Amino acid sequence: MITDAHLLNAITEIEAKSSTLTVLHVAPINKPIRPDLGYGPIESVIYNVDKGLHLAGHRSIVACSADSDVAGEHCVTVERSLGDYCREQTSEQRAIINRHLLMALERANLGDIDIIHMHGWLDLIYGGRFNPDVPIVMTLHVPAENSGMDAAQNLYFNSMLNPSMHFASISDYQKRQYHVLDNLETIHHGINVDDYPFGGTPEKQDYLFMIGRITRDKGQDKAIELAKRTGSKLIIAGCVQDKAEDREFLNTLKNSIDLFADIGKAPVDGAYYDNVMKPLLDSGKQIIYIGESSSVQKKQWYRHARATLFPIQWGEPFGLVLLESMACGTPVLAFRKGAVPEIVVDGKTGFTVDTLDEMIAAAGHISLLDPADCRRHVENHFSTFSMAGKYSELYQRIISMGRLRHTEVRTGAGFPEVLQPILAGGTV
């Protein structure tokens, strides 16, 4: 008998070279899908996957809010996004989400979609409320312990055939957390490196940069301690979400922050460094908090920093900050937790350490790292095109497997002539 693996490889090899896929992305609606968000990690990933697929010639459709700005086709489901990440939803917000998913399901069932790419709502798939008749790829963005999945759901997702259910972990670290899932493979995030400034004047300045949501897990307190013990200037950027524990954490930092600067509305133009950055860097203040930065603003702070700090206190599944910093030629000082070792090349694009004392010691060796190596690493391993290509390959394999399930494999009869020479060499 011809093996399924032999057939699948043959079909995938042929179809991957010629097939144009139609992919429907069902996006979350906490924030719009657009490239200029200050904080929106999941939204940024969806934007980049859509753009990569679109540029590769696939038909990429994004079901999302009307205030989004996507590269492919825009399937508007609701008038506007919710505006932020909500821990507890109001009845109005739940109604908006239900409408979004209903509109996305209607679009999925028009008959022209090859595969659906989702980023949440596993509970609705499990409960049968989102049940399109096409395969689903679910990118996992949270640790397994926060997914809400139990043993019964794991078994259900592993046995789904119509539609088939497949998962993409965003790091091997995260994949190990979801080891109970069968249809699971890792696809790292990617960014469009050309969107990130590199080099130019002025060159690197004598400050450290940290960006991320203000919360204990991100470790802003550790960054401040490092800056004080090394005598370094530190610029902190990041939003404060409407969570009591995050507001409380910010309050614990206030006595250690020398200046709170509201620069969120400052335009980013050719004079941004001279008009906004330089006055702050020359202010004589050591620890400066600049609030939430837009996409264009943070790139300038990455670009001129001596290094970006990533002193996380938990096993982060990925960390787009690492890619963004390295793309600007700025090395990273990071704790060796979560997916960090998969992203940062220790001693080449940054230093990965286990303790704050080790991070402080590493800060004295930043000048030994070549900014070009940092950017090249992202170009070679974490580009938008690399990510989109890997998703495209996954989509194609899933579609091919679906065709195999509907075909009785005995001699190869009924398959295209182009497959016959390949099938002839199959295992009997």
Q: Of 366, 381, 396, at which residue does a domain stop?
A: 381
> Which of 365, 381, 397 is the last residue in one of the domains?
381
d(CA 366, CA 368): 5
Edge-first strand order for the sheet with 22-26 is: 73-78, 59-65, 22-26, 115-118, 136-139, 165-169, 184-186
Measuring CA to CA, how many Å separate 23 from each of 46, 73, 114, 187, 396? 12, 10, 6, 17, 11
Report helix, strand or coil for 180. coil
- CATH number for 119: 3.40.50.2000
Please give the residue range of the domain that contains residue 112: 4-192+384-423
Q: What pLDDT sits at residue 333?
A: 98
| Residues 200 and 274 reside in one and the same domain | yes
State whether 185 and 241 are in the same domain: no
Q: Are residues 60 and 178 in the same domain?
A: yes
CA 354/CA 335 separation, integer angstroms: 5
In a domain, 59, yes or no: yes
User: Phi/psi class of residue 57: alpha, beta or left (left: φ > 0; alpha: ψ in -120 to 50)?
Assistant: left
- Do 39 and 177 sit in the same domain of this protein? yes
Whether residue 362 sits in one domain with residue 227? yes
For the chain, how many structural domains are there in total? Answer: 2
Please check whether residue 252 lies inside any domain of the structure.
yes
> What is the distance between the alpha carbons of residues 386 and 55, in angstroms, rounded to a whole number?
12
| Bridge partners of residue 350, in order along the sequence | 332, 346
In eight-state DSSP terms, residue 292 is P
Round to whole Å and give the CA distance between 94 and 114. 28
Q: 399 and 376 in one domain?
A: no
Catalogue the E-assigned strands of 170-222. Answer: 184-186, 207-211
Q: Within a domain: residue 262?
A: yes
**Do 158 and 273 lie in a common domain?**
no
In the chain, which residues have pLDDT < 70? 1-18, 85-88, 403-428
- Give pLDDT, residue 122: 85
Contacts of 128 (CB under 8 A, 6+ apart): none
Same domain, yes or no, for 375 and 390?
no
Within this chain, do residues 58 and 41 fall inside the same structural domain, yes or no? yes
Nearest to 351 by CA among 370, 336, 372, 329: 336
List the one residue out of 55, 78, 66 whose CA is nearest residue 33. Answer: 66
Is the same domain home to 229 and 373? yes
166 lies in some domain: yes
pLDDT value, residue 229: 97
Residue 396 is assigned to a structural domain of this protein = yes
**Strand, coil or helix: 256:** helix
| Residue 416 lies inside a defined structural domain of this protein | yes
116 strand-pairing partners:
24, 136
Q: Which residues pair with 333 in a beta bridge?
A: 309, 351
Q: From CA 256, how far away is CA 69, in angstroms rounded?
A: 39
428 within domain boundaries = no
Among 57, 32, 56, 58, which Cα is nearest to 46's? 32
d(C-alpha 88, C-alpha 134), whole Å: 31
* Pair (202, 86) in one structural domain: no
φ, ψ of residue 249 to 5 degrees: the values are -65, -40
Global confidence as pTM:
0.87
Q: What is the pLDDT of residues 373-412, one digit of tens each?
A: 999 999 999 999 999 999 999 999 999 887 655 444 333 4
CA atoms of 23 and 58, how far apart (whole Å)? 8
Q: Is residue 183 part of a domain?
A: yes
pLDDT of residue 418: 41
Model pLDDT, residue 17: 46
Q: Do residues 180 and 292 both lie within one domain?
A: no
Which residues pair with residue 191 across a beta bridge?
383
